[in-house]
Amino acid sequence: MGERPAPPRIETDWSVPLRFFGWLFVMFLFSGGLVLFTLASPKGEQFIGDHPWLIPVFVGMAFLSVAAAAAPFFFGIRCKRCGRRLRRMAGGTDLNTGNAPLKFHCVACNVIWNTGLVSGPGNPE
């Protein structure tokens, strides 16, 4: 009592942006792969024509990849130290760009996890 809590240390959790771009890459693989596959050769078009269910599968996988990439923005992350589920920190919107950095505060570890990611202009806070 009477002791002021130390300000939280700010650390960067690089696994969050890495996973984010990893999932985006997967999404491009699925969506771009399907397009390339069908455009590259008549055989590919033929193959898709014979297996039309591949299209919703690819589209679904691409969509899931986007959802996985966006998950930290909506569902938060786990603290790298204690494994607690962390909700996104509010605030910190840059008024010039409208970007809000994606940060998480773990009270137990007294750490603010910076992710290097921002939510773009127009994203709901």
Site residues (vs Zn ion, CB under 5 A)? 79, 81-82, 106, 108-109
Compute the least distance from the CB of residue 59 to Zn ion, in Å.
37
Compute the least distance from the CB of residue 11 to Zn ion, in Å.
10
Residue 101 pairs with which residues in a beta bridge? 118
Nearer to Zn ion, 55 or 82 (CB): 82
Contacts of 115 (CB under 8 A, 6+ apart): 12, 13, 16, 17, 20, 72, 77, 101, 102, 103, 104
* DSSP H helices in the chain: 15-40, 42-50, 54-75
Compute the least distance from the CB of residue 87 to Zn ion, in Å.
13
Nearer to Zn ion, 65 or 115 (CB): 115
Nearer to Zn ion, 70 or 109 (CB): 109
Nearer to Zn ion, 89 or 109 (CB): 109
Could you give the CA distance from residue 10 to residue 33 in angstroms, rounded to a whole number? 39
Element (H, E) at 78: strand 77-78
Compute the least distance from the CB of residue 103 to Zn ion, in Å.
14
